[in-house]
Amino acid sequence: MSAKVLVADQLSEDGVKLLQSEPGLQVDIKSGLSSQQLAEIIAPYEGLIVRSATKVPAEVIQRADHLKVIGRAGVGLDNVDAEAATKRGIIVMNVPAGNTISTAEHTVSMILALARRIPQAYASLRSGKWERSKFVGTELFGKTLGIIGLGKIGTEVAKRAQSFGMRVIAFDPFLSTERAQQLEIQLTDLKQVYAEADIITVHTPLTAETRHMIGAKEMASMKPGVRLVNCARGGIIDEEALRAAILSGKVAGAAIDVFEQEPPPKDHALFSLDQVIATPHLGASTEEAQLNVAIEVARQVADALLGRGIRNAVNMPSLDQQTLKVLQPYIILGEKLGSLASQLAGISVAEVRVTYVGEVTAHDTSAVTLAVLKGVLEPMVGESVNYVNASLIAAERGVRVIEAKSSRMEEFANLLALEVSNDGTRLSIQGTLSARREPRIVKIDRYLVEAVPTGFMLIIKNQDKPGLIGQLGTLLGESQINIAGMTNGRDEPGGRAITVVNIDQPVPSNVLEKVKKLQHVLDAKLIRL
């Protein structure tokens, strides 16, 4: 019996033909479906292909009784609930490199159009006017471009900007100094980017950390007359704050391809401003990009359904079933360790060292190491990191990866030890499996703990003094934040200690600041796993 595949968005004809040419597949094309309509018809399908328009929330996945694979024709996965799919054993895959050049070129096109006011001049000309003096632009040569996020797209934008004679500075906590030097880019912090850049372009994923990362406070610290560009994800730049900054004269102009709400309302606040140019999410809209992603996602879905292998899966590695059964708990543990280390370290990671102890050493641990890398990279790079490209992204960013197996005795029979470092700063985290083969954190630096790495965690560095736990519990309780579990580790009575708190919801930034100000608290961080 043929596997049924639903193509729920407009896909390049070549991609559809590739699917239809497979004798083991039955292909249906139904675009323009709402989430509710998709949920009503998804049950018989084993494969689903979408672009950005179709939403695949948990409600759809819960009714996907036979679904085995979801293919996203593009990079972003914010329209697919990958976590819900993972829980149901559904493979989620994307095409991480298919539209890199397209988006980079669109970004540069927007920068040029913004600097020379090309759309405004054309609109004036079409209205019958000849206003040469009104549309005096600015040259890119000699200007400073600030790039936030130097992944594939950000790097390609930098190369093109350099060809115009621009000085390029960038912020990316995961890019090594050595790699930045190779690219002839000055790696710096956000404060310097805001202070020195004439044009700022963002190329980060949309996460809880990056939503509204450029707001009123950040714009106030920018160079007067700065121009902002967003061809990444709507919501990274606070649109209301951007409007206010343009009206005040602080921001000279903006080029926007993506919006917090898509499609945006016709009376969107930015559309009335002559200093703004905008396009309807066209970053990946070139014939070449659409063809590339369509063919690649079609091949990936067909191969997965017909047993020919899995590529670019974001939620599972490529392993045979028997090996996967043994290694799956370690893969989950490894990704949790990596994400925890990345968020907790707060440094640009130059080296990742993974050491295996116990039963796992009898197997090929490369999939586990990839899971660790995915965890380390994903907090900043975002959903484009998967088990296939994690090592490549690490190499591109100059991150050294060291894998070792040890037979030496530890406190635990089976252990994953992770160390991340850069310029002499190191953080080590150790994890193991419980009797039910569930992940546990057992050591953070020199502190022994017993923590479940899941959901939201509050990790506090403190002095081992009486009263802290009571103060912390009171503060979280008053803030309606429920504590799910707590563990403490210390080096000696009265000395330095670490407190790990599992909580049921995130701690708002104002509450986190109050935690940091509690007596005996040295530092506190909110972790999302």
- 233 part of the active site: yes
| Planar angle of CA 258, 106, 382, nearest 5 degrees | 55
The full 3-state SS of 251-297, as one line of letters, equals EEEEEECCCCCCCCCCCCCCCCCCCEEECCCCCCCCHHHHHHHHHHH
- 281 part of the active site: yes
Catalytic residue (one of 117, 160, 233, 268): 233
Tokens of 205: 């994923």
Helix (H) or strand (E) holding 93: strand 91-93
Q: How far apart are CA 330 and CA 354, in angstroms?
A: 12
Report the 10 Å Cβ neighbour count for 175. 26
Task: State the first-to-last Cα distance of the chain, in angstroms, to the nearest integer.
Answer: 40
Length of the chain: 529
Is residue 340 a contact partner of residue 529, using CB atoms and an 8 Å limit? Answer: yes
Catalytic residue (one of 227, 281, 299, 490): 281
Catalytic residue (one of 262, 359, 411, 513): 262
Chain centroid to Cα 353, Å, comes to: 22
Report the 10 Å Cβ neighbour count for 102. 22
Report the 10 Å Cβ neighbour count for 454. 14
Q: How far apart are CA 320 and CA 427, in angstroms?
A: 33
* Helix (H/G/I), strand (E/B), else coil: 388: coil
Phi, psi torsion values for 429, nearest 5 degrees = -135, 135
Tokens of 277: 């140019």
As annotated, the active-site residues are: 233, 262, 281
